[in-house]
Structure 1
Amino acid sequence: MIQKIGQVMVYVSDQDNIKKFWIEQVGFSVISEEDNGEGMRWIEIAPSKESDTCIVLHDKELISKMQPELNLGTPSLLFFTDKLDELFEKLKNSHVTVGELVSIPTGRVFNFADPEGNYFAVMEKGE
């Protein structure tokens, strides 16, 4: 039986640039960086080293050659935070593309984009 989500694969064109975005602008940590020595490289990032789930940045072009049938679109991810206003301002001040901060029936939320135009959402949710 499935117990939890372990990793979410995000396929990007420039792994180093996107890693820099997540670390420097969003505040994630690098969990690991791997290279199999044959051109396959991946970077695991997460909100903290203790996170149960991580994002794995894969090279979109390489994966498309290895598995052309794979859907390489960005998954729709919703992150939770108990400091929504602080995060919203931090991302705006870091020149990240952010959407409007809005209230929906389940809480307040906004979205933001990485440098490749992949959008992610953040919702206010206490611990």
Structure 2
Amino acid sequence: MITRLNHVSVFVLDQDSAYDFYVNKLGFAVHTDAAMGPGMRWLTVCPPEQPELEISLMAITEGMMFKAGSAAQMRALVSAGTFGFGVFECNDLLATYEELKAKGVEFTKEPTREFYGFEALFKDDSGNWFSLGEKKG
């Protein structure tokens, strides 16, 4: 029986830029940053209060996972904001929204009360979008 998820991948256009975004703007911790052979890198980050969940920042490059044509297609899809990868939580949405905006995070939806909760939407530096919600008390 499956008991938990410990890794999830987010496809990124550039791992160095993604490192800067996730670590310096979102405040995530680097879990692993290791060379995996010529031109390959295993880079995972974690939300500070959830170190058991590693988010693998996967470069979209030709090779084992993508052929030349599919790599180009995937880069175009990510750049276009096609993928919404998840929902992050915070304790105070308004304060976190202001903090992240001040760091240059692009929000596509300001904090809004919806029937399901209080949320804002933002994009990472590659074009992936996420929901940011306030943790229910």
The equivalent residue for 2:104 is 95
Q: Determine the C-alpha separation between the residues in 2 that align with 1:105 and 1:50.
A: 26
* TM-score, with structure 1 as normaliser: 0.85
| Residues 1:20 and 2:20 aligned together | yes
Q: CA deviation at 1:104?
A: 1.2
Moved >6 Å (runs of 4+): none
Q: CA deviation at 1:120?
A: 0.8
Tell me if the contact between 2:111 and 2:119 (Cα under 8 Å) persists in the aligned partners.
Answer: yes
Which sits farther off after the overlay, 84-93 or 56-65?
56-65
Summarize deviations over 1:8-56 as a string: whole Å, max 9, x none. Answer: 1111110000110111111111011121223321210011275221210
Q: Determine the C-alpha separation between the residues in 2 that align with 1:21 and 1:76.
A: 16
Residues 91/112 of structure 1: CA separation in 2 closer, same or farther (3 Å cut):
same
Tell me if the contact between 2:110 and 2:121 (Cα under 8 Å) persists in the aligned partners.
Answer: yes
Structure 1 residue runs without a partner (length 5+): none
Identity, % of aligned positions: 29
Opposite residue 28 of structure 2, the aligned amino acid is F
How big is the alpha-carbon RMSD for the aligned residues of Structure 1 and Structure 2? 2.3
* TM-score, with structure 2 as normaliser: 0.80
Aligned residues: 125
